[in-house]
Every structure is written in structure tokens, then in C-alpha cells.
Structure 1
Amino acid sequence: MTAVDEYRVADADAGPYAVTVGPDGALWYTMVHAGRIGRLVPAGDGPTSVALSPGSGPTAITAGPDGALWCTEYAAHRIGRIGTDGAVTEFPVPTPECGPYGIVAGPDGALWFTESAADRIGRITPDGTVTEHPLPVAGGFPAAITAGGDGALWFALNRADAIGRLTTDGAFTLHPLPTAGAAPVGITAGTGGVVWCTEIGAGRLARIDPDRRITEYPLPDPAGRPHAVTVDAAGTPWFTEWAGNRIGRLAADGTTTSYDLRTPGAEPHGLTVCPDGNVWAALEIGALARVTP
């Protein structure tokens, strides 16, 4: 039987938003309203956190190629680096008011991030050197980003109802989603060159195959507002439903299994899979949720 547990890691106003597994095996998560980065060892002594600059608005977080954690600072228009020792370095992005949102370690030893308010994809090296690539579409609002199995970067274009692909040498390709109003947000690389994304506006998951064929999977609750998506070791996608207050799993045959969160209105956003197979999600009410399959 699947167990769903919740762990209080901050006060209700801190706003845990994204979570990832760090190089030290701990869970690291952003607290978007508190301007802090939290750390939790599930079997440890409890959560700890480090402060970013005031008003930073940390959003997405990922493990970097240099053994540190990297996050986007949406409100401060910076990229943050957090060492596992708690040391913080913050790097400005050249384009002002750019609104960095998603971030991922790329195949080239750099971090790649979306600039949601500036229609750009940015690249930052571990030493803080930033380059930017303007999108070929205006007003697309690039959201989450992932490193695909094909060596390119894939990202969700929330307001363009499309998925973008960017090679490391700067070539863009756009793939429109079949459903109008899909409004993709979350995106992740699956197995075998597959890419998955959430359609928060349409209540669906979409799968993009290596041949660029797109298949959409309607979820049982069309109003569930699927937000983030990740895959487990078997390539099975897991996702959060913000309005539905649950975590879901999509089987290979297209059927969905849902796991209701214990706290009403928990506002689940980002999620990650640990090496032990447990799935963890950030709850904006000040907690992390664990699903033990």
C-alpha cells in the first residue's frame, strides 16, 4: 500500500516551491516567499536553511556539475549558487527584469535557465559567465526546462502552447501542442529520448517522442491544474496537481493513479524522485510530501 506523509519544513508563509536531490544525498528546496534555500535529510535531525539576498524569490533548483545547488531568483533576476557547505553566491543576469524561472544542468557542463519575462534562454557557467539566446517567438513565457536525451535543452512555452528545443550551439525549434490553451509549465526528460510536459491549462500530460510525435493524456480531473513532472527509474512520469491537491502517476497504458495529500489546500508544485524510489513534492504551505510506492 502506498503511503503519503508530510514533513513540516518551514512556516506557512515561506512557500516551498521546488525540490531536488543534492549531490550530498539530501533534499534541497526553494522557499520562494522567504528568500531561503532549505535542506532536509529525511532520516536526519530536521530541516536547515540558508538565506539568499532579500527579495530574491528563489523558484527552481537543480544540482549543478560543480557539486553545488543552483537556483533561479525570479524576483531579483539573478541565478544563485549554494554550496553544500551553505556558501551562497549570486550572479546577475544581463537582461534586466528577465524573471528567471526554470533551471537545469546541461550536457555541456553549464547551467541553462529560462527567462520567463524576457523571452530568452540563458546559459551560465560554474564561474558565473552568462550568455543569452533570444527566443524566436514573443510573449511565450518560457517556464520549466530540462536536458533531453538528444543532447539538447527542452522547455515549456506556457503562453505559446508549445514546447521549445534549443541545441547547445543556439539553434531553436518549436513544437506546438495539439490542444489550444494547454499552457505547459513542467517538463522533464524521460527514457529513450522521450520528453514529458504538463498542460496546466488543459489538465493533461503530453509526451514528445524522438520523432517529434506528440501524444496527450487527459487526466481524470480536467481542472486539476498539473504543474510539475518528473520520472522515476523506470521512466514512469509523476506529476503534481496544484488545484487537485494530489500527486499522480501515469502508467504505460495511460491509466492514472492519484495520491491525495493529507492537508487540504497544500498547493503542491515541484517534485523529485530519490534514489530509494520515494517521490518528494514541495508544498507551498510550508511542507514537503513523500510518496512511498
Structure 2
Amino acid sequence: MTSAVIQEHAVADAGRGLYAVTTGPDGALWFTFAHSGQIGRMIPGEEPTTYQLDPAGQPTIIVTGPDGALWFTESRAHRIGRITTAGTATTYPVPSRDGGPYGIATGPDGALWFTEMNADRVGRITPDGEATDFPLPVTGAYPSAITAGPDGGMWFTMNQANAIGRIDTNGAITTHPLPTDAAAPVGITAGPDDAIWFVEIAAGQIGRITVDGTIDEFPLPDRAGRPHAIASDDNGKLWFTEWAGNRVGSITTDGKIEVHDLPTPRSEPHGITLGPDGALWTALENGTLARLTITGR
């Protein structure tokens, strides 16, 4: 059994809607403020910097792109954004009007791939801003997070279709229904075991899918914890946030789960990433970045 040391670093007031966090190519943490339309940057141990975008744009997921810049979705403005490590931002409209882009990830083809929640589409944008998209074979799917898989495809959650999808870089789509009804998958990431891992926010479970479509599900100790985001570390574990449970948890590739309570009640953890300092960092909606390190075995 391990124990966690959790340190909280306030970066904004709660009203800004701190949402997602990632590690940039510059050794800094980059994060989004969904309510205030801002992007933040912080080197661990230093003061944060904030860059103002469209106040109503609702920046959500942010990742490092193939060009050394940070890329993010603006769900309410229906745009894909790019910000350099110096803070210069550019935005591009998504192909589908009112598409509601949410998830975004770098693909194996040197482009960024994203989901369009409102349009039931998966999109692709090149580093120079040329965007295309591909319709899903179902409607009302609400595609959410997306990640590059170990097989050269992009894997994504279909929140309302209760399925995991896969899209080839040529646009061919395959879907895999989940065993648990109404599980509502959200976060997804490639694991250290050549499988893809995801969270089921409505079912309180962690899921694993192999590249051939075999699915396993692992119930959390608190099925009402509302797991939201998931990321890999450097030690063979997956880490996830429990939005309603006010916890951060880990799962091994053989399904062993441990959870750690956050110090501040009702802090509402969302995004999570392996930081530039080797610790796990999670974005709390109360305006805090929480740093988590593990002791013991």
C-alpha cells in the first residue's frame, strides 16, 4: 500500500473554471480556464502566467502538438486553438458549424485529431490549420476525449453512445460497445501495456480495451466518484481523477486500484498529467493545481 503527498498550488480563483492540464515542451505545466477563456502556464516552483483568449470561447482540453506549440479546443467558440510557448495564440474554426470540439490529441501522422461533441464527428487539423472531419456511424454519440493508440489509430470515447471508437488516419471508423449500460465514458489514454484505458463517469469504473476490441472493466471503491480524466505515469500505472469523490486514484495494468483523498473538500478535480518534475498534477476546479507524489510500496 502506498501513501500520497499532495501539495496544492493556487493559480486562480474558483470562478475561472480551471479544467485541463498538460506538460508542455518547455518544461512548464499548461492549463485551461473554461469559464474565463484563458490559458495558463506555470513552471513548478514559480508563479503562473495567464494568457487571455476569447472570454466566451470555453477552452477545454490542451495538449502538446507536433510543432512544439500547445493546441487546445474551444468548445463554445467551435474552434481549435494554438498557443506558442511564448504566448502567441491563433485559432481555427472547426469544419462543422456549432461542432463543440472537446478532446484533442496528436496523431501518428503529424496532425492533431479532435472530437466534435455536437456534430458526431472526429476532426483532423494540420499544424498549418487545415481542418477536415469525419462523421461517426451513429448519432447522438457525444464523442469526448481522444488519444493516439499503439496501433497507429486514434481512439476516442463516445459518451452517450456508450462505446469506444477508433479511427484510422484515412478516416475509417470502428466502434466497440461497452459491457456496462449507460457507463458514459469520458477520459481516455494509451496505457503502458499496449492497450487503451478510459474512465466511465456514470458507472464509476475504469475500462481497458485492447487493439482487437476486448474490453475489461474495473469498479472503483466508490462507484459514485465520477471518474473524469486519466493519464499514464512513468512507472506502469494509470492515474485518474474522481470529480465527485474529491480524489485522485491509480490503477495497475492488472487492475489493482488505490485512491487518495484531496486535502480541500469539494475541490472538483478534472484534468491530470505527468508533470515535468515527475510528479502527477491535477487541475482542480477551485482554481488549484494539486501536485501528488507517492511514498511507500
The 5 A counterparts of 1:68-87 are 68-87=69-88
Partner of residue 190, structure 1: 191
The 5 A counterparts of 1:17-166 are 17-44=19-46, 46-166=47-167
**Native 8 Å contact 2:29 2:276 kept in 1:** no
Moved over 3 A (4+): none
Q: Which digits, 9 at most, give the CA deviation of each residue in 1:140-196, with x for residues without a partner?
A: 000000000111000000001100000000110000110001100000011242000
Structure 2 residue matching 1:220: 3-state secondary structure:
coil
Letter in 2 for 1:217: F
Partner of residue 262, structure 2: 261
Partner of residue 9, structure 1: 11
Partner of residue 223, structure 1: 224
What percent of counterpart residues are identical?
A: 59
Letter in 1 for 2:45: A
Letter in 2 for 1:32: A
Structure 2 residue matching 1:24: 3-state secondary structure:
coil
| More displaced 10-residue stretch of structure 1: 92-101 or 159-168 | 92-101
Q: 2 CA distance for matches of 1:234 and 1:286?
A: 28
Question: What is the TM-score of this pair, normalised by structure 2?
Answer: 0.96
In the TM superposition, residue 212 of structure 1 has moved relative to its aligned partner by 1.8
Structure 2 residue matching 1:43: 3-state secondary structure:
coil
Q: What's the RMSD between the two structures over aligned residues?
A: 1.0
In the TM superposition, residue 20 of structure 1 has moved relative to its aligned partner by 0.2
| More displaced 10-residue stretch of structure 1: 63-72 or 270-279 | 270-279
Aligned length: 292
In the TM superposition, residue 69 of structure 1 has moved relative to its aligned partner by 0.3
Structure 2 residue matching 1:13: 3-state secondary structure:
helix
**Native 8 Å contact 1:7 1:289 kept in 2:** yes
**Native 8 Å contact 2:95 2:131 kept in 1:** yes
Letter in 1 for 2:58: G
**Native 8 Å contact 1:149 1:192 kept in 2:** no
Q: 2 CA distance for matches of 1:99 and 1:155?
A: 15
In the TM superposition, residue 253 of structure 1 has moved relative to its aligned partner by 4.0
Structure 2 residue matching 1:2: 3-state secondary structure:
strand
In the TM superposition, residue 12 of structure 1 has moved relative to its aligned partner by 1.1
